Structure 1
Amino acid sequence: MAPMRPRPSISKERFPAVFSNFKTQTYHDPSARGVGSHAIRCLDWNPLGTLIASGSADRTLRVWNPDRPNVRYSTELKGHDASIEKVAFNPVKDAELCSLSADGVLKLWDVRTKTCINEIKGLGSAVSLVWHPDGEGIIVGNKTDTLFFIDPAQFKVVAEHAQDVQTNEIAFCWSGKRIFVSTGEGRVKILSYPDLQPVFQCGWEDKPLTLNGHTSSCLSLALQPTARFLASGGSDSIISLWDTKDWLCQRTLIEMTGPVRNISFSWDGMYVVGGSDEGNGLEIAHVDTGVYVHSVKSQTPSPVVAWHPTKYQLAYADFGGLKIIGIDSDRKHNN
């Protein structure tokens, strides 16, 4: 893919005024009639940010053109028989999408042709899905704490790894040599990939280093695009920001209401936001200071959030449907 044109970042001081002037666009899906069975459970942008996929509790899997909010300009991908729990675009192929349903079915789609290229069944009650940064591997995790390693080329499971602790979310480092695993103990494990060995040891205790930042289950993870910070979110309503140089918690964000189900960094890594299935709104924080710079009001809780990969556009779930702030950001960014 062609390299992205660098965009200027918005300073902490300017962000509230600039972002509050951005338009919020609603995407009209006739299936969405408020909260309930249609509720969106996952979102993901493709690498160029020209498409965004949404997966819903009623099995609706849809790929939207963010510039065309009417549903007739979207693509519905049909074939799942259970709630769509995760969607993830291949990080190096703009039109290749994976979707994971609650009944343990993983499907690989070509969104240009609306074709299901391949599928894997029998992954259990699935909860997590992540691509290797080079697009050469996929990891799926389920509620029985088994990690499945999948070869996308053959689209088959090549390894299974049972974990000894409740395993919730998985994230890769950008080199693809390590994974971060959030656990029910409120910790984050740092493991080598693909052999899943602890990367660091606590010298004074002679045991694997884990990041202990939550008083209850750690549910979500996100690595900053610049890789300086790893964010972890817990059922204690806290987002912890870990410095990846010394693995110390630099700050905690405590303005969330309810469990932190999802975390997303802005394209430049300057801002972070969490999603929760409680409360009515989103709180955007400046990463380097922990200062909250903008509040987004919503009609219902917004458990899923996703920043655009190259722009200040924020997608989130509200009232059963998709909304995106900043579709007009290119016109207003430099004003």
Structure 2
Amino acid sequence: MAPASQRPRYPLAKDKFSAYFSQFKSQTYNDTSSRGPLSGHSGLRSIAWNPLGTLVATGAADKTLRVWNPEKPNVRFSTELKGHSSSVEKVEFNPVKDAELASLSSDGAVKIWDVRTKACVNEIKGLGNANALAWAPDGTSLIAGNKVRKAFLLLLEPQGQSGVLFRLSPTQSTIISTHPQPVDSHQMAFCWSGKRIFVPTRDGRTRILSYPELDPVLRLPYTPAPGESTEFMLKGHTAPCLTAELSPTGKYLATGGADSIVALFDTKDWLCQRTFSQMEGSVRSISFTYDGCYLVAGCEDNSGVHVFHTESGDVVHTFKTAGHSEAVAWAPTRYCLAYSDLGILRIVGLSSERS
């Protein structure tokens, strides 16, 4: 831990944010045993901290699933979890169990791991072209999503067939329930009560569904045109909406899209309060600081990782990168950011990183 005199006052003031992080240099966590090139889309696909902020998991396109000790960047102090036969698309720690990790692969399988023993304690197969995964806040169930493969998209869409959401249990090897969707879904987020789930879709909108029923929660306050849905959805993008993230305070829902925009919605009135448009390329991940005061977006952008002030929308700092940074994750208890850079994990904000 940093000495008391070096720690920021929480929450870190907007006008002091950049000066504070200018004292740090990022730490590199290089996986020398990687089985393929680690650049662009072939690098890290997902990053996740465990609930205490003592471990960081990474999933990569070369099938590598690894758990790192952020205080020890050398790969020999990390743990590789072997078993997936294809790209690891998503990693998520159980929000109430510090050593239980879920990983989702494009091979259509979710694996549940005990990271202390390196054991795969459960596996659920048959999820198709899987691309999204989220734990319920109580840690007793998960939602996984898949999408129609592009080669068949135009053929299937007229029949109303699209992606599917699956309810899963970390202790059960079969799917609890299957829920076909009217449009492909992307990376979803739960509300903190666990009673609702926010599901971004390919048409640029975000659905608000009940959980565990996965039925629409809100309806339009007017009669729509014939043939149009009565479901109320959040509209914030002109291209596919790829990810959603709820702020730790529950005040805002952020969504990121292929239109290079992050939209911020007030969860009381569901109005879009502001948009962040400084990125270039599709926004594939979003992360809030533990206090909800700042957020970052991971995207196909060579200009660095931008940190935004949630209330004003201003860019308060930019972490320089050598290339794309599509995966980002703030630590759950402190101002410490993990992000990908040319397929390699970097972390900034640790006490050992001070210049």
TM-score range relative to shorter protein? over 0.9
Q: Could you say if the C-alpha distance between residues 112 and 7 of structure 1 is closer, same or farther in structure 2, counting changes exceeding 3 Å?
A: farther
Q: Could you say if the C-alpha distance between residues 329 and 186 of structure 1 is closer, same or farther in structure 2, counting changes exceeding 3 Å?
A: farther
- TM superposition shift of 1:34: 4.5
Q: 2:56 aligns with which of 34, 52, 57?
A: 52
- Work out whether residues 221 and 232 of structure 1, in 8 Å CA contact, stay in contact via their aligned partners in 2: yes
Query: CA-to-partner distance for each residue in 1:235-280, whole Å, 9 max, x for gaps?
Result: 1101000000000000000101101011110111000110112323
Are 1:299 and 2:322 an aligned pair?
A: yes
Amino acid at match of 1:183: T
Q: Distance in 1 between matches of 2:121 and 2:215?
A: 33
Unaligned runs of 5+ in 1: 1-5
Which residue of structure 2 aligns with residue 120 of structure 1?
Answer: 124
Q: Could you say if the C-alpha distance between residues 276 and 36 of structure 1 is closer, same or farther in structure 2, counting changes exceeding 3 Å?
A: closer
Aligned residues: 327
Which residue of structure 1 aligns with residue 333 of structure 2?
Answer: 310
Q: 2:188 aligns with which of 145, 150, 170?
A: 170
Which residue of structure 1 aligns with residue 22 of structure 2?
Answer: 20
Q: Which has the higher helix share?
A: 2
Amino acid at match of 1:41: R
- Work out whether residues 312 and 329 of structure 1, in 8 Å CA contact, stay in contact via their aligned partners in 2: no
State how 1:86-97 maps to structure 2 within 5 Å: 86-97=90-101
Tell me the SS of whatever aligns to 2:175: strand
Which residue of structure 1 aligns with residue 239 of structure 2?
Answer: 216
- Work out whether residues 124 and 172 of structure 2, in 8 Å CA contact, stay in contact via their aligned partners in 1: no
Tell me the SS of whatever aligns to 2:14: coil
Which residue of structure 2 aligns with residue 3 of structure 1?
Answer: none
Which residue of structure 2 aligns with residue 246 of structure 1?
Answer: 269
- TM superposition shift of 1:302: 0.4
Q: Could you say if the C-alpha distance between residues 329 and 263 of structure 1 is closer, same or farther in structure 2, counting changes exceeding 3 Å?
A: farther
Tell me the SS of whatever aligns to 1:198: coil
- TM superposition shift of 1:38: 5.3
Amino acid at match of 2:16: R
Query: CA-to-partner distance for each residue in 1:158-180, whole Å, 9 max, x for gaps?
Result: 10000011211211000000010
Q: Which has the higher strand share?
A: 1
Which residue of structure 2 aligns with residue 11 of structure 1?
Answer: 13
Identity of aligned residues (%): 55
- TM superposition shift of 1:202: 2.1
Q: Distance in 2 between matches of 1:139 and 1:68?
A: 32
Q: Distance in 2 between matches of 1:329 and 1:198?
A: 47
Scaled by the length of structure 1, the TM-score of the pair is 0.94
Give the CA RMSD over aligned residues: 1.8
State how 1:76-225 maps to structure 2 within 5 Å: 76-144=80-148, 145-205=163-223, 207-225=230-248
Tell me the SS of whatever aligns to 1:13: helix
Q: 2:39 aligns with which of 35, 42, 45?
A: 35
Query: CA-to-partner distance for each residue in 1:141-164, whole Å, 9 max, x for gaps?
Result: 011310110122324311000001
Unaligned runs of 5+ in 2: 1-7, 149-162, 225-229
Q: Distance in 2 between matches of 1:9 and 1:40?
A: 30
Tell me the SS of whatever aligns to 2:283: coil
Which residue of structure 1 aligns with residue 296 of structure 2?
Answer: 273
